[in-house]
Amino acid sequence: MPICIEIPELPDALSITLPGGVTMQQVDLMQAIQPALTPLAPLFDIVDAVVAVFNCVKAVPDALGPPLDPTVLAACIPELAGKVGKLLKLIRSFTDVRSP
């Protein structure tokens, strides 16, 4: 004798209007938002790099304080290098696309 399981109804699809007037409908909101935020990824990389620069500049007074401690400044340098590396890749890919 087969067992019948009641399948619940799906919720109404959520819709998101993207720039340009395209409307996406999706039951899972996160699946609908991800394509909409993809063009903003370079902007998020720029913000991350600015925050990393700010953290390194903020660490300079701590490194030069009365007990000289350069480890504070040295700790933020790898993160800053990674963020700047991402920006350089972004700039390089942009110039590769634009060059004839």
For residue 86, tell me if it sits in a domain.
yes
27 falls in which pLDDT band (50, 70, 90)? Answer: low
For the entire predicted model, the pTM comes to: 0.63
Average pLDDT score, the chain: 84
- Whose tokens are 């935020």? That residue is 37
| Predicted confidence (pLDDT) per residue in 38-81, tens digit | 888 889 999 999 999 999 999 999 888 888 888 988 999 999 99
**Dihedrals φ, ψ of 12, to 5°?**
-60, 145
For the chain, the domain total comes to 1
The two three-digit tokens of residue 62, written as one number: 């701590």
With beta carbons less than 8 A apart as the criterion, state whether 51 and 65 touch: no
For residue 4, tell me if it sits in a domain.
no
For residue 22, tell me if it sits in a domain.
no
Q: Which domain holds residue 92?
A: 39-98
For residue 3, tell me if it sits in a domain.
no
For residue 47, tell me if it sits in a domain.
yes
Provide Rg for the chain, Cα atoms. Answer: 24
**10 or 27, higher pLDDT:** 10
